[in-house]
Amino acid sequence: MDEKTKNILIQKAREALPHAYSHYSGFSVAAALLTSDGEIITGVNVENSSFGLSICAERSAIVAAVAKQKRHFAAIAIVSSSAKPTPPCGACRQFMREFGDFEVILAGDNEEIITSVSELLPLAFLMKGH
């Protein structure tokens, strides 16, 4: 991915960050998902008083994309209210892997980590033929 596209993706994630609903933990996360056809779809974490019903930003973005009939992704940028890059949780890694192997950008205030879904989850559970 070129530098300009990467920076736009990070910026879109940062713009979405204030929309997170993180009243319980105070830890906001936003993601900007780049579809294979160039559309950027954002998502944020949405917490619930029944914590198991909360949804992470990465899954929120993917669900929004699938609702728009987008299922092929080139990259995702993830930002949080922390100054350091925030990696996705295990559930999000598995959820992302369902849709292939794509670039993952973890952006902090002064540091970026560029990786991929397969590097984050090398032994993913996948159904036959997927």
Report d(CA 61, CA 57) in Å as an integer.
6
Beta strand extents in the chain (DSSP E only): 29-35, 40-44, 73-80, 103-107, 112-116
Q: Active-site residue 58, yes or no?
A: yes
- Give, in degrees to the nearest 5, the angle at Cα 55 between 90 and 43: 100
Structure tokens at 72: 């092929």
From 47, 58, 103, 119, active-site residue: 58
- Give, in degrees to the nearest 5, the angle at Cα 57 between 56 and 58: 95
Which residues does the annotation mark as catalytic?
58
